[in-house]
Amino acid sequence: MSREYLKSAGEAALEIPQDVTESVRDIMDTVRADGDAGVRALTRKFDDVDREQLRVDDDEIEAAAEALTEAERRTIDNTIANVRAFHEEQFANLEGFEREMEPGVRLGTRLVPVERAGVYVPGGRKPLVAAPAMTIVPAVIAGVDEVIACAPPQADGSLQPAQLYAIDQAGADAVYVAGGAQAIAAMTYGTETIPSVDKVTGPGNVFVIEAKRQAYGHVGIDFLAGPTEVFIIADETADPSLVATDLLAQAEHDPRSRAALVATDRDVAEAAVDALHDQLPALDTEEVARESWAENGEVVLVDDLAEAATLANEWAPEHLQVMTDDPRALLDDLRNYGSVFLGHHAPVVFGDKAVGTNHTLPTLEVARYSGGINVTTYLKVLTHQQLTAEGADSIAPWAAKICELEGTHAHQISAERRITTSDGRALARELALSPGGGVDLDDDSGEDT
């Protein structure tokens, strides 16, 4: 199989500049030491906003709702309803278990939510109105006791109305005005006003990413994500104009966004590139999209769809569109992606904004080992075990022998003390267990010594 690169781009990597790492460390230390005062000082410094009250009150939430038109509220409500329906179905198909693995030995798992989750809702070039649904709704459905949200202020110190309405309707228990690394620090360490959480989730810029990296270990995080990506597989049935439109839809996010087309048909590939250049001047976001495509766009011609699937798995993209005659035929061969969009009528924008699946997804090959945010993001898989005396007697010789091999003497004694029958002693002798002081293997009376 062959690959012909009609347009190539360098490899992307999540590289955090040293000055960002040092700046974020200072921010984290400031918030940890100074609490609310630190958050306010950093908000003045980075956002040029002086706001005394960090928590958004009910009057602000009501005002945000009133600032929107009915159509705007309905649109946000529709996205939240679809995201809720999908994640409720996802949650309904998760379950723990408990089973008697052998006589007297019962093992199981429970799915237990974290107690408090903190979500970050980014500002940036455009307010991400769908983002709150993607991070807050799954946490609520998972059963998290308390979900808090942080978002950066506008110039007047308030939150963008559509974002605030979406945060409230998605189910956040409290909303705070704090942006960037200082928001992550506040949710990590806690301040007088903003509580510390068990897990921090949500996308953000390089400062937010680095803050999450530094916070990890003190709190859990979802993952570290870089600029957005789209990888389109197209055959001869794909409409080049639609392919171009869908490439640009991701390219407009950020100059570092990555958009790739892998085609089995040269005419489609070349026509898509021509259409992309034709469509660029009509975009309000032309400057960003043009830079993104020039620096990071990629077009590859392959012999067949099998090779396209192989290349997609190597890329492990955030968004994978399959614009082919029979997209489901490739599904079993595709293993590494954040979310896959099947067919000519399933663009990434639907998953990003309205259909109900989650748009907070892994980038930069993280899809090789992780999926995106979902209800399990906020769940812990906890194990439990219960043994009868009979069950303990059957397991103890094996455990004691492992301890002997490791040299963990107290562990060995703990296991041996559960050997209480002649059968248990016989197994211990069969394993050539050297008693650690917890049992007399020569005593076959059946009584513990």
Catalytically annotated residues: 318-319
Do residues 266 and 234 make contact, with C-beta atoms less than 8 angstroms apart?
no
Q: Where are the alpha helices (DSSP H) in 144-285?
A: 161-170, 180-189, 206-215, 240-251, 266-279
**What residues are paired with 149 via a beta bridge?**
119, 175
15 burial via Cβ count (<10 Å: 0-12, 13-18, 19+): exposed
Structure tokens at 162: 């559509």
Least Cα distance to 167 among 94, 118, 230, 125 occurs for 118
Q: CA 237 to CA 412: how far, in whole Å?
A: 67
- As a whole number of angstroms, the distance between CA 282 and CA 279 comes to 6
Q: Coil, strand, or helix at residue 259?
A: strand
Tell how strand 97-102 and strand 105-113 pair up: antiparallel
Whether 205 and 46 have beta carbons less than 8 Å apart is answered as no
Question: Residue 438 phi/psi, 5° resolution?
Answer: -100, -10
Residue whose C-alpha is closest to residue 152's, from 42, 289, 309: 42
Residue 153 tokens, joined: 């202020």
Q: How many CB atoms lie within 10 A of CB 128?
A: 22
List the beta strands (DSSP E) in 82-125.
97-102, 105-113, 116-120
The three-class DSSP label of residue 101 is strand
**HSE-up of 154 (CA within 13 Å, CB side)?**
11
Torsion (CA) 188, 210, 153, 284 in degrees, nearest 10? -150
